[in-house]
Each structure stands twice: as C-alpha cells, then as structure tokens.
Amino acid sequence: MDAGLKALEAVLAIARRGSFRAAALDLGMSTTALSHSIARLEAALGVRLFNRTTRSVSLSDAGRAFVARIGPAVTEIRTAMETAQSQGTTPSGLLRINASVQAGREVAPLVLAFLRRHPRMQVDLVTEGRLVDIVAEGFDLGLRPADLVPRDMIALPVGRPQRHAVVASPGWIATHGTPLTPADLPPAECIRVRLPNGALLRWPFQRGAEVVQIEAQGRLTLDEAAIARAAVLDGAGIGFFIEQDVADDIAAGRMVRLLADWTPPRARFSLYYPDRRNPSAGFSAFLAMVRDAGRA
C-alpha cells in the first residue's frame, strides 16, 4: 500500500481506537513507527492532528475536521482496491469484522475454519459492546443480534438460535426461595443490565401469548457479562444473560436456572454488510462459508 495511504489509515485507526498502542496493534506495526508516521504527516500538513499526553490521545480541532473529510475517501480507495483484488480467484487480503462479545464467540469457529481453508486471508475480529457504524469505521462486516442490524444492511443468520437465561446462585435460592413466575422476581434483587446505547434493559419474558417485562432495580448495574456472572456466583442477586454465557455454570450446578418456561428462543445473530457491487474474493468466500453453515 502507498505510504501516503498508510498514513491516512493510521490517522483513522488512532481516531477509532483512541490509542497509539491499540492502533499500532490493529495495523501490525510498532508504536514507534506509527508515531513517526503521524509526525511526518503532521509536519507535511503543518498542523497537529492529535493532542497527546502520557495518558491520553485525542483529536485536535484540525484533526477532527481532517478525519471527517478523509474517512469517506479512504473507504472509497479501499473499496477500489478490493474491487481490483476481486478480479483474482484466490481469496487474499484482510477481512475486518466488528461483533459483540457473544456474537464473536459464536462466529469464531467459522473464522478459524475460513483461515484454514484460505491461507492467504487475514481476519481482524474486533469485539465490543457498542454498536458501531461499520462503514464509517472501516469494517467489512458486522455481527449483532438480528433486531440491532441497521435496516439498510444485507443480513445473514449466523450460529444457533439464542435464548435468555435467568439465574441465581444456590446460596441465593436457599435464602430467598425459587421464583416461579416473573411476578415472583424481587426487583431489588435483580442485577441491572446496561445496554451498549446506555439504556437499562427491561427484562423480557414470554410464555405463549403472555408477554411481561420486568424493570430490574438492584443496587448493582453492569454492562459486561463476565462481571455479571461473577456477581451472581458471589450471591449478589439474580442475573439475566444470553444462555451461552452461563450454560456451563448451570450444567455444573454453580447456578440455578429460573423461569426457563418464560424464556423462549430468540433470533439468531446476523452477519451484516452494505451492498457491494464488486466484493473481493475473500469477502465472497467468507459469505459462502456462512451460508453453507446456515444450511448444515
């Protein structure tokens, strides 16, 4: 890739990650080399793009304006390069996927199988809670629950049907008893779940045609499933999870599942992407593998 384009990609990576170190890892280069690249670009432009301290990195006013202008242009250049690469029949190059943590776990076996099948391909799988604009942030594909996929995207189902699981520790059950219906749940004992958009989850339940939502009012609010799992195991209260996050704990008896008949299957995860007229060979090969897995 041309050195000038590499420098622009570097600016976008730092702006996206908020860290020279994290951006350098994404780009496969050293932090020192990345810093020198940005310094050369800033010298050529005659402006400072980033405000740097020993603890933080942020865009300057000039940097924000610069990123807003080059982002779409770099995307167009990347698309043009992928279009040229697509003329070949052997998948090669980099595929960038943005996913939630749970969705990333679900797609990981497919990614590993894809890399075994196509040794010239690379995959950058980024997992995070927030829902990002995959086009603006330079991703080829996104992976989220079906109800969170933007309407203007093409979507493919991935993985197994999902269920929620409401759980508590055996110690909590021994002290408080076993709730048999959503109405039996003590709201003050329910750990609150903060969604990627900042809103608090109202726990959804359904049995047949009956639909109920519970507003958790516990003293603990969390946005990370692993921390919530640890809290439930510690007896902090009742937790609300995607089933796969606590399936091993339920099977081992470390957690007790509650209200299983009120948590029906929900939509699978969806792999989504914008319409692409000339997809690269690697992009097309990955979609073909997803479709084959869905038919299996």
pLDDT tops 70 at residue 207: yes
User: pTM for the full model?
Assistant: 0.62
CA dist 108 and 124 (Å) reads: 11
What's the topology of domain 164-262? D-Maltodextrin-Binding Protein; domain 2 (3.40.190)
Q: Where are the domains of the chain?
A: 1-85, 91-160+267-296, 164-262
Burial of 121 (0-12, 13-18, 19+ CB in 10 A): buried
Look at residue 162 in the predicted model and tell me its pLDDT: 80
Q: Is the fold of 91-160+267-296 the same as that of 164-262? A: yes
Q: For residue range 119-142, what is the model confidence (pLDDT) as tens digits? A: 999 999 999 888 889 988 889 999
The dihedrals phi and psi of 241, each to the nearest 5 degrees, come to: -135, 165
**Given CA atoms 205, 190, 100, 104 in this order, what sign does their dihedral have?**
negative
pLDDT tops 80 at residue 228: yes
pLDDT tops 60 at residue 1: no
- CATH class given for the domain over 91-160+267-296: alpha beta
Output the DSSP codes for 107-170.
HHHHHHHHHHH-TTEEEEEEE-SSPP-TTTTT-SEEEEEGGGS-TTSEEEEESSPB-EEEEE-H
> What average pLDDT is seen over the chain?
90
Domain 1-85, CATH? 1.10.10.10
Q: Are 222 and 231 in contact (CB under 8 A)?
A: yes
Within 13 Å, how many C-alpha atoms sit on residue 126's CB side? 25
Give the 3-state secondary structure of residue 65: helix
Token output for 201: 């989850």
Pick 13 or 296 by higher pLDDT: 13
Q: For residue range 242-284, what is the model confidence (pLDDT) as tens digits? A: 898 899 999 999 999 999 999 988 778 999 999 877 788 899 9
Q: What residues does 193 pair with on adjacent strands?
A: 222
Cα dist from 242 to 69, 147, 178, 245, whole Å: 39, 15, 20, 6
Which residue in this structure is represented by tokens 């080829």?
A: 140
